[in-house]
Chain A
């Protein structure tokens, strides 16, 4: 199974990696328990900064698509297939859209929403 990234693509490199690894899991190109390359190996093969690959792996681990087993390496999570369907970015966008719609219905202006958001974040 090959991973292909395009550094000129407007989609960030770490997102391309996440999408391709999730796709590989969904299409069963990689199976639960399969080993994945180390951050160093993948970064050198793709000629990327190790931090970029580490970020992709961190987010995949958060989504329970992969799991790190200490010095033994990184593996595909047992529930990877189910978890690969969950898109947290899409979920956040949907939730925020619903919330903003409620604010607007109540007459809150865009700038007031932005100020409130700025205070919280």
Chain B
């Protein structure tokens, strides 16, 4: 009974944190940019009429409101419906995936925006910093050490648990999965550090800060995912499956909070978006 109540509380928190609090903060930040750096003074920031941005932000807000409503219906349904813990996990996963769809669409919109920006501002003059970018410019060796130690500890943990031959245990597939995830993240880090910058007008200092935030969030996600899977295995091994959904709800919220940090990272140099012939 207590676990069910706790689960409902965490689900409520998941609804509010991912679909209400952070989307509101994000929209607040975007409105602040509109008001402080309007098209009149910063035309290069807006390759489309400002109304189209307001429409897409309104759509983002409406999508989140619909998800909140769906979440409340789901929560009410779960409170009155008796079910097993496995169902809780599945429902939570699907609902989380639904919650991140608006953010994903907003992200896709931003990529299209950068393409328009590139086309609208053909620039014969190009700039680059004459210094190499290294991983340790963005994260401390200690942080990387913690991520590597977590991965090694996880592999050792899987080898240890594998001795007990639990019927539900995926064995080394867990290590393969985490390795694949880390390789995927490493690819994104490399792309961020050495690939073309998505925003063609972005100032170097803003780009460096954005790379730093992405690298830190990806490493944090890697550590969090590894700990989450380890914890799930421990809970299964000690037959505490009824706590799995609660742990999962906490994990999803941690992931969402970390991801939103990338979007809430403030830019500092908006001079590059001014219609200044000297910059063109």
Interface positions of A (Cβ within 8 A of B): 1-9, 21, 24, 29-30, 34-38, 40-42, 44-48, 73
Contact A42 B128 (CB under 8 A): yes
Contact B194 A2 (CB under 8 A): no
Using A2-B130, A35-B132, A36-B131 as known contacts, list a sample of 9 further A-B pairs with CB atoms less than 8 Å apart, ordered by residue number in A.
A1-B130, A2-B129, A3-B130, A5-B125, A5-B126, A6-B126, A44-B195, A45-B128, A45-B197
Kindly list chain A residues whose C-beta atoms are within 8 Å of the C-beta of B132. 35-38, 41, 73
CA distance A5 to B124 in the complex (A): 8
CA distance A25 to B187 in the complex (A): 34
Contact A46 B126 (CB under 8 A): yes
Interface positions of B (Cβ within 8 A of A): 124-133, 193-197, 204
Contact B125 A4 (CB under 8 A): yes
Q: Looking across the interface, which residue of chain B has its beta carbon closest to that of A47?
A: B126
Q: Looking across the interface, which residue of chain B has its beta carbon closest to that of A13?
A: B126
Contact A37 B126 (CB under 8 A): no
Contact B125 A45 (CB under 8 A): no
The 3 A-B pairs at the shortest CB distance, nearest first, are namely A45-B128, A8-B124, A1-B130
CA distance A45 to B196 in the complex (A): 6
- Most B CB contacts (10 A, CB to CB) among A21, A37, A45 go to A45
CA distance A46 to B132 in the complex (A): 14
Q: Looking across the interface, which residue of chain A has its beta carbon closest to that of B128?
A: A45
Contact A37 B133 (CB under 8 A): yes
Kindly list chain A residues whose C-beta atoms are within 8 Å of the C-beta of B196. 44-45, 47
Contact B128 A37 (CB under 8 A): yes
Kindly list chain A residues whose C-beta atoms are within 8 Å of the C-beta of B124. 6-9
Q: Looking across the interface, which residue of chain A has its beta carbon closest to that of B200?
A: A47
Given A44-B196, A45-B197, residue A37 in contact with residue B131 (CB < 8 A): yes
- Most A CB contacts (10 A, CB to CB) among B130, B131, B133 go to B130
CA distance A48 to B125 in the complex (A): 12
Contact A46 B130 (CB under 8 A): no
Contact A36 B130 (CB under 8 A): yes
CA distance A73 to B194 in the complex (A): 14
CA distance A44 to B198 in the complex (A): 11
Q: Give A118 Cβ to nearest chain B Cβ, in Å.
A: 36
CA distance A41 to B125 in the complex (A): 17
Given A4-B125, A6-B124, residue A38 in contact with residue B194 (CB < 8 A): yes
Kindly list chain A residues whose C-beta atoms are within 8 Å of the C-beta of B125. 4-6
Kindly list chain A residues whose C-beta atoms are within 8 Å of the C-beta of B194. 38, 40-41, 44
CA distance A21 to B28 in the complex (A): 44
Kindly list chain B residues whose C-beta atoms are within 8 Å of the C-beta of A41. 132-133, 193-194
Contact B131 A35 (CB under 8 A): yes
Kindly list chain A residues whose C-beta atoms are within 8 Å of the C-beta of B129. 1-3, 37, 45
Contact B127 A2 (CB under 8 A): yes
Q: Give B262 Cβ to nearest chain A Cβ, in Å.
A: 20
Kindly list chain B residues whose C-beta atoms are within 8 Å of the C-beta of A6. 124-126
Kindly list chain B residues whose C-beta atoms are within 8 Å of the C-beta of A46. 126-128
22 contacts between A and B (CB under 8 A): A2-B127, A2-B128, A2-B204, A3-B129, A3-B130, A4-B127, A5-B125, A6-B124, A9-B124, A21-B130, A34-B131, A37-B129, A41-B193, A42-B128, A44-B195, A45-B126, A45-B129, A45-B197, A47-B126, A47-B196, A48-B126, A73-B132
Q: Give B168 Cβ to nearest chain A Cβ, in Å.
A: 44
CA distance A1 to B132 in the complex (A): 11
Q: Give B196 Cβ to nearest chain A Cβ, in Å.
A: 5
Q: Looking across the interface, which residue of chain A has its beta carbon closest to that of B126?
A: A46
